[in-house]
Chain A
């Protein structure tokens, strides 16, 4: 179908049929696009309001308002000082003059006359509200008659004083007429020049209602905003360009050349007379384009989830701006002025195209002019973002802050990349996820208390902006320049200006504070020295010196170049966080005169939890280097009967992912050797029997050990036996201890074994249990020999690509340990979780620090619906669509076979393991559910508490939930690890086996003990343990072990019930007594939950 035959397509949309021929979504696959369209339709259905039900009686109230205002009598004109002195007192209604208040001797007069017209505008009129809004404002504009104003009223706040009086006059009348409504003043979108009246029904609570409980009743709390504004064409637009100055009061004594442009003031004035014309524009757009309203609601939802709103504290880009932008793009916007959007597009396509426009237009960098192009960019340029509507000669983003323009662009880009990624479900990340969570994006938080005298220090306050906003803009500009590339994103949260009473009252000023959120680029931010321009470039160099002040110094490169620079290397030991903190402290002090007491830094408590340090990378690198030495040593052996194919490390230490950084010589805590895997070239020499292959492996290991000891000095090898239950499992390993302190545990892989086992699993003539056993053996062999080496490579690669990945993995492992889940979630699986959070960060940017990486992993786990969805971790996008489908089908098949999820719970697939179950063996459903619950509550805490969150609380875990808890004696554990063999010589059989020397690599007794318990009590008990250092093992009884009749093969220890000797119940006391006997002196005490006995 031709893209430009709107008629035909319009037909399609009206009956809501499938939109295969989507035009704007050409970037997406066919299936992805249609699902997206359907999903947006559902979303629209969900959030749309039934206006008559949601706001009963509102229309009537509005009509009453209109009548009341129209019925008001003319007043004045009276001189302004008389009005403020007399009228205010007699009527007890405050006149909301903007600052500075009118001078006493002002000659002009204020008055009230019947408005030319009154209109309901905004999203209530256009029916583009969404249920999920925080508050519902119904805007009613009151157009003041032109007769009230004189030509020069654009100057020196005169218009605003008159407007304030006009408003106060209406307030006074309405207040007396509608006693059942509560009236307060507030500023329109936080613009201090524009006070408006807010009326709320008194019976509804003043705080904004959440959408959840509103939905149940169908009624929503609303507020009516009465907005007085100027008639069209009231002000001379030529005198209100961005460069002209309309406020002369302060500068009047000085010469006329030095007048400061007042773009904000000018734009506010211009916007005052444009309310009606924008109303017309939006109305035209919604009548010409069928899906305009739907697209507006989508835009509103998208903005809302990202915390954008029309209020300046929310960034100053709200639903109104979105709608106007779309309306303008329906008319113009292209390179030659052609429309960018077509009215026949579907709502989701309009939305995506607008998003694309926002992402590519770079509002934060250059002014964007919509409409006829004959306006020079200089005429509209100003410091903030500019989106110039040339038809109405207005910068519609005049109230938007610079950082929010930057953030908007970033978010649009991120969302666009999510839309263009066919592998992810874009819908959730665009509309459902709450993105406005500072902790999930930013790493460094600075709380700045605004000094009370800030407004005097600032030069730019005179254009009518609120001093807080002006101050924040200054902070933003200064920090952006000072941090440069060190900061990827900077955003500032400001307090919202509250509403105030309509009766006269003294306003008390309290200290306000703003929050600066910074997302660092760890690689660039850790640079110790800041380099400026070349010394020879005098102009730039002078600017650099001016900015940095005393700390600027010259620096000579070895090549002879001399550049300006600033030295921060003193703070290098504190990591990038320390450097950034030092820069912020210095620059705010020198440029904005902020003292240390006014700054408060947050955000680095996360890394202190597991004492991460910048030296860790070096020790991981040392472990990697030690492994390559070991690999070389093995490869150089000449007298091996088979040739070495691959020797791969599978230990977390060599992929930057172990919880503790690997340090050699740590005998006392019990050295953990680095696991390695050796595979040989295919050979016919292996015996054709799986049990014999195990012995052959031991023989090979022994030979390797002998040869290594002969070939190199300072190597000790010890053959160890595994805790194997069957002869067909892997039976032995070789520990190789280097003099340097690193130890390696070598296991051999035989492909002959894999072939034999594979054959057994497929052999229909064998017994069923033999086949399942063989299948288990095959999967454990593959896990070690194929999957883990590839996994190791992947994680190691991505740890170098994402600097924050390594520390995030380690912190997440600590979290699993802290909650005693780590004996079910193996380390590689946790690594995959974290990697996934980095690979699919939508809708957030890629995590840049430990805290964001960790919190986003938790967010991922909280929303991971493992019952129904597979998690597909595909780092290099190597899985095809059909492979992905296969994976999903496999999960469905598992769920069909095993609906109760007794065998397979989590399903995590990677390109090197498409079966999806290799990583997630033996995770009971209870444990998986517990992980989800914990992740959810942690994510909720981080969302609710924001930067006040104490990270330690996320790692605290109570023992109350468990049925019983075993506490181990730390002394006994130490005793086992330090066992030197001399003391316990009464064990005759031990003496023979070389008791004279200390044990090579003693294992901590708790994991070994737990393994035994697990195999003994696999059915009746679930054990929880958090890593080798945890001295507590908690346990839960299996609730599914009901009372049953006697059979020869009981699943656990049972006893006859008291009531009926033929019924048998779980013998908990006997099991506990057994555990106590087995643990002996290792167990200090067993705590049993009260109701267990």
Chain B
């Protein structure tokens, strides 16, 4: 593609609007953030920094969150017991604990396999600006642009910090896919140190909770070392067993009376008739599709 730049020109016609507050619940930043739709697939923070500084000057842009940055957050790494307990026993985290947690998470995260992420075509992002005033300024600048038609150029004014795509990027991917056994070992070790600790904590907590009344004075009834209600699948298994037992009992009393035999035979006959009917329907259906009964030439 030679006409890279011309088609990029048209980026600036992307609509920009203030997001409804429910889209992302970043508690404090709502009034400072700007919802961007239809971001290009190869966007990076640097790209947007460049765009915003061309619009409203440097220093207004703080950071940007893309769609897929949010994805990893939902997955829980807590041991199952800890999770179950957490439902019954909310524990407030202190700030330093949270900091510690973050550090641990960082150590336990596997290295990325790509130097630069791509975004799904047409996805959205949220830019966090310095203050509310900056948001207004940006919007004003955009409106002005529509009149002057002097749109910013995508990728202009980027610093060296942005890694190139293309073969470099793919080469780097091949390389990053093999971070080295030692590196991965360290990550995994860090992960399981934290995981085991959490498991232990949960265990301790469960033990403690076993006979301790809660705020309302109730004592949670638990079974063995598990401190949560019986799992759903166990209940299902029990039901299955019961059904099997019933079926067995029923089987034993079959073909005992004459009427049972008679009924069975009747059912078989009906079955035969039904099959014949089905066949006829099938043939009818084949007939409707023309050519089914015409030998190939």
How far, in Å, is A349 (CB) from chain B's closest CB? 16
Q: B175 interface residue, CB < 8 Å from A?
A: yes
Q: Are A1000 and B296 in contact (CB under 8 A)?
A: no
Assess whether B80 is in contact with A1074, with CB atoms less than 8 Å apart: no
Beta-carbon contact of B23 and A1009 below 8 Å: no
Is the CB–CB distance between B287 and A42 below 8 Å?
yes
Q: Output the residue of A995, A1020, A1078 with the most chain B CB within 10 A.
A: A1078
Binding-face segment, B91-99, B242-250, B251-259, B277-285: B277-285
Contact A689 B174 (CB under 8 A): no
User: Among residues 708 to 740 in chain A, which have CB atoms less than 8 Å away from a CB atom of chain B?
Assistant: 717-723, 725-728, 731-732, 735
Q: Spot the interface stretch: A78-86, A150-158, A818-826, A975-983.
A: A975-983
Which chain B residue has the least Cβ–Cβ distance from A1072? B1
Q: Are A1016 and B232 in contact (CB under 8 A)?
A: no
Contact with B along A994-1020 (1 / 0, CB 8 A): 110001101101001100100111111
| Cα distance, A289 to B292, chains bound together (Å) | 28
Contact status B184-A732, CB under 8 Å: yes
Give A705's nearest chain B residue, CB to CB. Answer: B181
A719-B181, A1002-B174 known; A688-B81 Cβ under 8 A: yes
- Give the most central of A434, A1020, A1067, A1071: most B CB within 10 Å: A1067
Task: Check B261 for interface membership: any CB of A closer than 8 A.
Answer: no
Distance between B111 CB and nearest chain A CB, rounded to angstroms: 7
A200 to chain B minimum Cβ distance, whole angstroms, is: 21
Number of chain A residues close to chain B: CB under 8 A: 106
**Could you say which of A722, A727, A975, A1019 contacts B121, with CB atoms under 8 Å apart?**
A1019
A 1010-1035 binary contact with B (CB < 8 Å = 1; else 0) = 00100111111000000000000000
A433 in the interface (beta carbon within 8 A)? yes
Q: B38 at the A/B interface (Cβ < 8 Å)? A: yes
Whether the pair B295, A1008 counts as a contact (CB closer than 8 A) is no
Decide: A1080 near B165, CB < 8 A? Known: A34-B276, A759-B233, A993-B180. yes
CA separation between A132 and B165, bound complex, in Å?
62
A990 to B113, CA, bound (A): 11
Whether a CB of chain B sits under 8 angstroms from the CB of A38 is yes
Partner of A46, one of B10, B191, B293, B297: B293
Q: A432-B296, A721-B113 are in contact. Are A1069 and B10 (CB under 8 A)?
A: yes
Min C-beta distance of A39 to chain B, whole Å? 6
Q: Which of A691, A718, A1055, A1072 contacts B13 (CB 8 A)?
A: A1055
| CA gap between A1002 and B167 in the complex, in Å | 13
Contact across chains for A1005 and B295 when beta carbons are under 8 A apart: no
* A717 to B185 CA separation, bound complex (whole angstroms): 13
Q: Is A202 an interface residue (CB 8 A)?
A: no
* CB contact under 8 A between A702 and B295, given known A687-B79, A1052-B122: no
What is the CA–CA distance of A989 and B176 in the complex, to the nearest angstrom? 10
Cα separation A154 to B94 with both chains bound (whole Å): 120
Say which one of B52-60, B70-78, B208-216 lies at the interface with A: B70-78
The complex places the Cα of A1079 from the Cα of B168 at a distance, in Å, of 10
In the complex, the answer to whether A132 meets B177 with C-beta atoms within 8 Å is no
Kindly state the separation between the CA atoms of A1026 and B86 in the bound complex, as whole angstroms: 51
Contact A46 B178 (CB under 8 A): no
**When the two chains form the complex, which single residue of B37, B167, B287 contacts A976, counting CB atoms closer than 8 Å?**
B167
Contact assessment for B174 and A1012 in the assembled complex, using a CB-CB cutoff below 8 Å: no
Q: Is B65 close to A, CB under 8 A?
A: no
Candidates A35, A132, A688, A1076; contact of B79 at CB < 8 Å: A688
In the docked arrangement, what's the CA distance between A179 and B84, Å? 101
* Residue of B77, B81, B110, B115 touching A731 (CB-CB under 8 A): B110
Q: Residue A790 at the B interface, CB < 8 A?
A: no
Task: Establish whether residues B175 and A34, one from each chain, have CB atoms under 8 Å apart when the complex forms.
Answer: no
**A residues less than 8 Å from B192 (CB atoms):** 695-696, 699
Query: Chain A residues with Cβ under 8 A from B38's Cβ?
Result: 1050, 1053-1054
For chain B, give the interface size range. 35 or more
On whether the beta carbons of B283 and A42 are closer than 8 Å, the reply is: yes
In the complex, what's the smallest C-beta–C-beta distance from A685 to chain B, in angstroms? 12
A692 to B38 CA separation, bound complex (whole angstroms): 34
A698 close to B280 (CB less than 8 A): no
Shortest distance between the CB of B297 and any CB in chain A (Å): 6
Contact mask for chain A residues 1059-1093; partner B; CB cutoff 8 A; 1 contact, 0 none = 00000000101111111111111110010000000
Q: Which residue of B lies closest to A981 (CB)?
A: B175
Q: Does B139 contact A (CB under 8 A)?
A: no
> Closest CB of chain B to A475's CB: distance in Å?
30
Give A20 to B195 CA distance when docked, in angstroms.
Answer: 68
Residues of A within 8 A of B111 (CB): 721
- For B165, what are the chain A residues with a Cβ–Cβ distance below 8 Å? 1077-1080
In whole angstroms, how far apart are the Cα atoms of A1003 and B178 in the complex? 11
* Cα-based distance from A245 to B119 in the complex (angstroms): 91
Cβ of B279 to closest chain A Cβ, rounded Å: 4
Identify the closest chain B residue to A1088 (Cβ): B1
- List CB contacts (< 8 Å) of B93-152 with chain A: 108, 110-111, 113, 115, 118-122, 124
Q: Is A933 an interface residue (CB 8 A)?
A: no
Contact partner, B80, options A433, A434, A688, A732, Cβ 8 Å: A688
A987, CB-defined interface residue at 8 Å: yes
**Chain B residue with minimal CB distance to A437?**
B296
Interface string of A17-35 (1 = CB under 8 A from B): 0101000000000110011
Partner pick for B294 among A18, A132, A981, A989, CB 8 A cutoff: A132
* Cβ contact within 8 Å between A1073 and B13: no
Let me know if B121 and A1005 touch, CB within 8 A. Answer: no
Partner of A31, one of B174, B179, B279: B279
Interchain residue pairs A-B with the least CB separation, the first 10: A1080-B166, A1076-B1, A688-B80, A35-B279, A1050-B122, A1073-B7, A1005-B170, A434-B296, A46-B293, A1069-B7
13 A-B interface contacts by CB (under 8 A): A689-B77, A689-B79, A699-B188, A719-B178, A721-B178, A1005-B167, A1009-B170, A1016-B41, A1020-B122, A1048-B23, A1054-B38, A1080-B165, A1082-B170
Taking A1003-B177, A1048-B124, A1077-B165 as given, write out 20 further A-B residue pairs in contact, using a Cβ cutoff of 8 Å, ordered by the A residue number: A30-B272, A39-B286, A46-B293, A47-B294, A688-B79, A702-B181, A719-B178, A721-B177, A725-B68, A735-B178, A999-B175, A1002-B174, A1005-B170, A1050-B122, A1052-B122, A1053-B38, A1069-B10, A1070-B7, A1070-B10, A1080-B168
Question: B interface vs A, CB < 8 Å?
Answer: 1, 3-4, 7-8, 10-11, 13-15, 19, 23, 35, 37-38, 40-42, 68, 71-72, 75-81, 83, 108, 110-111, 113, 115, 118-122, 124, 155, 163-181, 183-185, 188, 191-192, 195, 199, 231-233, 272, 275-276, 278-280, 282-283, 286-287, 292-297
